[in-house]
Amino acid sequence: MPRLLPIVFTLVVSILWGRDGSSRSFDVPEGSYQATITFGSETEASETTVFAESRQLLLEKVRTKPGEFVVRQVHVNTRTPQVTPPPPFAPGADTVILNDREIGIARWDRKLTLDFMGSSPAVSDVHIEPAPEVPVIYLLGDSTVTDQSIGDQASWGQMLPRFFDGSVAIANHAESGETLKSFIFTNRLTKVLATLSARDTVLIQFGHNDQKSNWPQTYVEPHTTWPAYLRTYLAEIKLRGATPVLVTSMERRKFSADGRIISTHGDYPQVVRDLAVEEGVALIDLQPISVALYEALGPDRARLAFAKGGQDGTHHNAYGAYQLALAIAHGMKAAAVPVAQHLITDLPNLDPSFPSPPEEFDLLLPVKDSNAPAR
């Protein structure tokens, strides 16, 4: 039987783009891939930022001088809604139930998509090859974690890859509106578990929607069904040898008259903290970090960390998402999560009580996911 050759794609572009950048897609089966990218131009200085799939930040401001070429490697995880069907007569699903926002979007299509942005982006070569053995970090959660596709909205999940050294892939399965329960009955958890291996890590952050008692189908009570469902997730992940990490939800931007954040999460974060101890799993306590960040900025400037020009009090813009992603990276390092060995060696410092000025943050997001429907 002939040996199957690996799938390899090479794109020679050799052009200099304007600030709006350019998008390139490769038809590939789902899985993890290594992208080897050569940056630079013979005649111009360049500055290039790279996003993958639905605006997932991979590399930030790779700079070259005229005539200089720099090679960087990154990993990208791609997927489709299809799930390996169960055997005959066995119950189970064969596809993830997507919502209307996800139909045709880049993170669920049969392509690997790269966006090149920046003040003067220049890429001369892109080489794609399969990387089936690369460690994968799976992200499970809601709209505050998902790869936001359009507008100025962003999440820590889509900023997190920027803080890793390119030797891991991040599979962001979080989605807007999701809860622990809905993640199960839309077959999202099934999809994750079907591809999970012992070398992988799973970050779990729910809570924003689970606490909504006006959503009776997905509501979980903080001291009973909330920890019960979380334990199920942890058990399934551990069964496959992977490493689970619990994350408490960041707070909403709701200030009291004296400039303090009013918590809207009730007992849910404390239950997550207690459960991490009981189950012996790593915890990233994002809630108090977010409080410190918002209060340090103050009621007026904290708006500069949120989407829709600050009108949104729950979802972040690129600046806010970037700060929270940095907090997640430091949290993984502090908790000694094994995959933290792949963090970049020059990980920026973070003190949420003294945050970097949002006025000086200038990361340019792609206008929208290359395949995102207008809404």
Quick: pLDDT tens for 167-182: 999 999 999 999 999 9
Task: For 121-174, give the DSSP string.
Answer: -EEEEEEEEE-TTS-EEEEEESTTTS---BTT-B-HHHHGGGGB-SSSEEEE--
Quick: pLDDT tens for 280-324: 999 999 999 999 999 999 999 999 999 999 999 999 999 999 999
Quick: pLDDT tens for 204-248: 999 999 999 999 999 999 999 999 999 999 999 999 999 999 999
pLDDT score recorded for residue 12: 44
Quick: pLDDT tens for 107-161: 999 999 999 999 999 999 999 999 999 999 999 999 999 999 999 999 999 999 9
User: How far is residue 140's CA from residue 95's CA, in Å, rounded to a whole number?
Assistant: 17
The answer to whether the CB of 180 falls within 8 A of the CB of 215 is no
Locate 81 and state its tokens.
Answer: 């809604």
Quick: pLDDT tens for 262-277: 999 999 999 999 999 9
For residue 119, give the nearest of 366, 319, 364 by alpha carbon. 364
Reported as a pLDDT band with limits 50, 70 and 90, residue 364 is confident
User: How far is residue 343's CA from residue 160's CA, in Å, rounded to a whole number?
Assistant: 10
pLDDT score recorded for residue 219: 97
DSSP state of 44: S
When pLDDT is averaged across residues 69-98 and rounded to a whole number, the result is 95
Reported as a pLDDT band with limits 50, 70 and 90, residue 27 is very high
User: How far is residue 222's CA from residue 272's CA, in Å, rounded to a whole number?
Assistant: 9
pLDDT score recorded for residue 356: 96
* Cβ count near 271 (within 10 Å): 18
Looking at 204-263, list the stretches that DSSP marks H as alpha helix, in order from N- to C-terminal side.
225-239
Q: Domains along the chain?
A: 9-360 (3.40.50.1110)
pLDDT score recorded for residue 13: 45
C-alpha of 283 from chain center: 17
Angle between the 188-195 and 225-239 helix axes, to the nearest 10 degrees?
30
3-class secondary structure, 77: strand
Question: At residue 81, does pLDDT exceed 90?
Answer: yes
pTM: 0.94
3-class secondary structure, 313: coil
Mean pLDDT, the chain, integer:
93
* Cβ count near 219 (within 10 Å): 16
For residue 323, give the nearest of 283, 292, 369, 282 by alpha carbon. 292
* Cβ count near 185 (within 10 Å): 14
pLDDT score recorded for residue 375: 46
Reported as a pLDDT band with limits 50, 70 and 90, residue 9 is low
pLDDT score recorded for residue 370: 64
